[in-house]
Amino acid sequence: MYRFRPDYEMRARPINEYPGKSEQAKAIMLMIQNNLDYAVAQHPHELITYGGNGAVFQNWAQYLLTMQYLSEMTDEQTLTMYSGHPMGLFPSHKEAPRVVVTNGMVIPNYSKPDDWEKMNALGVSQYGQMTAGSYMYIGPQGIVHGTTITVLNAFRKIKRSPKGGLFVTSGLGGMSGAQPKAGNIAGCITVCAEVNSKITHIRHSQGWINEVIENIDALVKRVTVAKANKEIVSIGYLGNVVDVWEKFDQENIHIDLGSDQTSLHNPWAGGYYPANISFEEANEMMADNPDSFKIKVQETLRRHTAAINKHTAKGTYFFDYGNAFLLEASRAGADVMAENHIDFRYPSYVQDIMGPMCFDYGFGPFRWVCATGQPEDLVQTDLIACRVLEEMAKTAPEEIQQQMQDNIHWIKGAQENKLVVGSQARILYADAEGRVNIAEAFNQAIAKGEIGTIILGRDHHDVSGTDSPYRETSNIYDGSRFTADMAIQNVIGDSFRGATWVSIHNGGGVGWGEVINGGFGMVLDGSKEASRRLASMLFWDVNNGISRRSWARNENSLFAIKRAMEKQPLLKVTIPNIVADNLLEF
């Protein structure tokens, strides 16, 4: 794996520093190097961007060959990527994607975790997570924004202000490290437990957590004071989160919001650590006695769930953060099932919060990268995006005013919150109209020479890009949440509507075999062609998902798709006819 690792600094360079015949290909080279930047990637030498096993490539030879192909290709060729392996350059045309990426696309009967271990060892498939294998990760900023929106809406759901409210969760490595920063932006008290001392102190030095506490009694005293003073503070507890839940129950400390963001999509390889064992001992057990490690993990999951259940009986609102916590807890035999023995007793955050409040309306994680690498360009794009949103908010319907105001507030505070890690990038939640309008405003600014080239993208965790029954599509109740037509239709539709590159993956977030997800990248160069492409592709990329959600009879999606059809006469979507309850016999 390591022998072809280059000795040059790995980071996103200004686009004009890359060799090549295609500006689009240069943009992809920039994004690949950003995913492997030491400040961005979780395990850069192993080509892992985040999530413990979210890979960009399987080895450095693949990286070098891919970069060579990108430096040589023209706008009449397409590079095909098979789970990190550059299969080759094929003749295409200017309107085709420059790169098509697939990760982990295996036959369904061979899509179990053990199958992945075997295929990964053979070098024939890889786990690309979401934006790791699609070259669109922008560091923790993306998850900070998503978590901020989630926490704000969770407090709204329980009808209380974040001020003085307590949010308890766990995980400070990789994407989960964004939780305390998001808690601060949302305005609550956050306690985030982490067993790894190194990453805990890194997050503290980066300013992502305000304080580190290692003693559980000291934590109780500190939280008691913070609640009394209604502080906005993030506390990293160096220890197992089970101890926090159990101790807070004993001390009768009320937790308003609870969740978990450990990497439970990878429970047996460091994604979740057992209680009552030191971090070092657990790592030794994981390597030397994996069967015992698995038993200890499942014992801890049962304890973890039991403690959560005690708090929810007192009024805590707990939600699964899409990391497979409830799924793995159920497999461990924890008391986590609803009375019908089919559903979980707790919702996922998408099922209860993000789905109905954001995705069903078409709002999701739209992002852009300033290819010049200049902070000044990012400042200008922030101002442009803010102006567009403020103008749209003047006439936006009441149903989406809260989403509009949340994102205007976010973009105004983005510079102050110092969210940039790696490339000069930004994220906000926008619907199709917002994405198109912002992108067009960027393209016009490029044409005028006010800013340089912009690379558009989004998280796969979005309205249309991902079919995941325990996360992105968990609030779809018509029986179709275990199907993957939406994600596949999305990547195909993006590819012929103007995307610069597209990707489709098995796995991501909740684990291999549990989700199909896809994404895109799009280069804006100020041209008329770019305007045509962005209008076509971004409209489809959102409304595909809204149409599926509306067919599932999600009320907010019915509102959104009808509004989209009024604005675009060429859009004709089949609308369900809702049967009146008095006509049904039960």
Q: Tens of pLDDT along the chain (586 residues)?
A: 788 999 999 999 999 999 999 999 999 999 999 999 998 998 999 999 988 889 999 999 999 999 999 999 999 999 999 999 999 999 999 999 999 999 999 999 999 888 998 999 999 999 999 999 999 999 888 888 989 999 999 999 999 999 999 999 999 986 667 899 999 999 999 999 999 999 999 889 888 899 999 999 999 999 999 999 999 999 999 999 999 999 999 999 999 999 999 988 889 989 999 999 999 999 999 999 999 999 999 999 999 999 999 999 999 999 998 888 999 999 999 999 999 988 899 998 888 899 999 999 999 999 999 999 999 999 999 999 999 999 999 999 999 999 999 999 999 988 888 888 899 999 999 999 999 999 999 999 999 999 999 999 999 999 999 999 988 999 999 999 999 999 999 999 999 999 999 999 998 878 889 999 999 999 999 999 999 999 999 999 999 999 999 999 999 999 999 999 999 999 999 999 888 888 877 6
Q: What is the dihedral of CA 45, 46, 48, 53, to 10 degrees?
A: -150
CB neighbours of 478 closer than 8 A, spacing ≥ 6?
Answer: 551, 552, 553
Spacing of C-alpha 185 from chain mean position? 18
Domain boundaries, the chain: 15-122, 141-347
CA pair distance 111, 144, nearest whole angstrom: 31
Q: What is the pLDDT of residue 175?
A: 67
Single-letter code of the amino acid located at 455: I
As assigned by CATH, the class of the 141-347 domain is alpha beta
Give, as one character, the DSSP assignment of residue 174.
G
The first and second tokens of residue 384, run together, are: 């442009």
Could you give the C-alpha distances from 392 to 149, 275, 553, in angstroms and in order? 20, 50, 27
